[in-house]
Structure 1
Amino acid sequence: MVKASVPKRPTRDEFELEDLGSQLEEAREDGDERALSVWGETEKVRGRIMVLDSRTRLVHVESEGTTRKIPFLDIMRVSYE
């Protein structure tokens, strides 16, 4: 029996992750709505960045009154769309 392979999350270097962290921090400070491309999801996640939790490595995104917690490493791109 062949085990179905799940695509792995792309690896990124230290500089890419640092840049992503800076973009998320800027988005949190601005309070503007952003679109996040999240690994494994077909649609972008839209909302305001409320919390960047360094302990759990989760990004709290608020949209339409609900808060969604997304793992930092699953966020591929931040945009204004």
Structure 2
Amino acid sequence: MYAVPKPPGKKSKATRPTRDDFELQELAEKLEEAKENHTRLNLTVWRMPEQIQGMIDKLDSGTQKVHVQTRYDGLLKIPFIDIMKAFNVE
């Protein structure tokens, strides 16, 4: 019986940094507060080269996406888990 060689190595996908429940809870509270106060935020999103600046329009618990109204790109629907950081625009 002959051994079949494996196909050339596949490149592994970049993995999203892991965060604990406390960090996720803090982020959720910050997004909720910004939505209630109509505050503009800068969001650092995983696998996006630039930060997103906008206001939180909706927090959709069904799809777990955050709807962000931006000035130039319109409404973006970003998965909550992909948001790495959020901070107020000064």
Assess same fold via TM > 0.5.
yes
| Residue 70 of structure 1 pairs with residue 75 of structure 2 | no
> What residue is the counterpart of 2:60 in the other structure?
53
Cα distance in structure 2, aligned partners of 1:30 and 1:4: 44
Question: So what's the TM-score if we normalise by structure 1?
Answer: 0.94
Following superposition, the deviation at residue 64 of structure 1 comes to 2.2
Cα distance in structure 2, aligned partners of 1:80 and 1:32: 7
Cα distance in structure 2, aligned partners of 1:31 and 1:73: 22
Q: Which runs of 5+ in 2 are unaligned?
A: 1-7
| Residue 9 of structure 1 pairs with residue 13 of structure 2 | no
Q: Which runs of 5+ in 1 are unaligned?
A: none
Following superposition, the deviation at residue 79 of structure 1 comes to 1.1
| Structure 1 segments of 4+ aligned residues over 6 angstroms from their partners | none
Identity of aligned residues (%): 44
Structure 1 counterpart SS, 2:62: coil
Superposition map of 1:33-52 within 5 A: 33-52=40-59
In angstroms, what is the RMSD of aligned CA positions? 1.1
Structure having the higher Rg? 2
